[in-house]
Structure 1
Amino acid sequence: MPSENFERSLTVGRSPEECWGVLTEVGTVAGWVTVVGEVTEVEHLAAYTAVLTDQFGPFKLHADLDITVTDLDEGKSISFRAKGQDRQVATSIVVDGTLALEPGDGGTTIHVDGKWNVIGTVATMGSGTIRKKADTIMEEFFTAAAAELNA
């Protein structure tokens, strides 16, 4: 079962309040990552659904995810669990993550960390392939966050 921890930080020139407002606007943030399709807010800062679509070699992944906020310190940090599956390619995905904001001199540091697990057919592509996809997702998120929050 391919799984891996992830961690990355970015310092931007905006206040924690401004960062929180942007980073918790799920429709905006979902648009930053190409593999995230339709997103529905079930309950603000509590529950969401999303569709994850991507190509893994011969497999076309279309996973419906349920996203639950597991811990919330409003304005400072949010932890979540995204869990779902694609029944057609027999693949399950679980991502546990935390986004935390740390105020600093003239800006805010955004910390993101967590762990992902992939089980099933797509996992047969190997952890290296899945890791590259996960790294691409993180790169897209942080590139867009930097552009938005340093503008």
Structure 2
Amino acid sequence: MAEFEFDRAVSVTGTPAAVWELITDVPRLVGWIDVVHDAREIEPLSHYSAVIQDKVGMFRLRADLDIHMTEVDEGKRIVAHAEGQDRQVGSRITIDAEVLLDPAPSSTSVRVSGKYGITGNVATLGSSAIKRKGDKVLKEFFGHLSSDSSGA
């Protein structure tokens, strides 16, 4: 299994309530990250589904994700677990993430930490290719969060 940890933070314009509204707006989030498609809310702030689709090396990965919010402290914190499988290329994905909002006088700090892993054929590509993809997803998330929060 190729497994990676992440821990990034950014300070964005807006109150914690406004930032919370942004990060819990699933259709908006899907537009923020190129590899995520077809997100569906099954139960608000509890259960979602989505598809991760991307080319990773010589593989075309398409995994249906089942996403559960395991802890929600309204306006402050979300802990999520997602897992899915691409049976065609024989790979499994797991993601565990925590999002923390911390108010400051004129902004809100958003910290995203956790780990993700992939097994099977895609994992044979090596850690550098998979890590680059994960870093790109985080960069997209924080970039859109920063720009969208300044307009909120």
- Fold agreement, TM-score > 0.5: yes
Report deviation, 1:126.
Answer: 0.5
TM-score (norm. length: structure 1): 0.98
Return the alpha-carbon distance in structure 2 between the equivalents of residues 68 and 91 of structure 1. 20
Show the counterpart of 2:38: 38
Show the counterpart of 1:76: 76
Tell me how many residue pairs correspond in the alignment: 151
Structure 1 residue ranges without an equivalent (≥5): none
The superposition leaves residues 47-76 of structure 1 with CA deviations (integer Å, 9 ceiling, x where unpaired) of: 000000000121100000000011110110
Return the alpha-carbon distance in structure 2 between the equivalents of residues 20 and 74 of structure 1. 8
Structure 1: which 4+ aligned runs deviate by more than 6 Å? Answer: none
User: Contact between 2:13 and 2:146, CA under 8 Å: does it hold in 1?
Assistant: no
Cα RMSD after superposing both structures: 0.6
Structure 2 residue ranges without an equivalent (≥5): none
Show the counterpart of 1:25: 25
Paired residue type of 1:105: P
Show the counterpart of 1:141: 141
Return the alpha-carbon distance in structure 1 between the equivalents of residues 138 and 70 of structure 2. 21
The superposition leaves residues 22-50 of structure 1 with CA deviations (integer Å, 9 ceiling, x where unpaired) of: 11011101110000011000000000000
TM-score (norm. length: structure 2): 0.98
Percent of aligned positions with the same letter in both sequences? 40
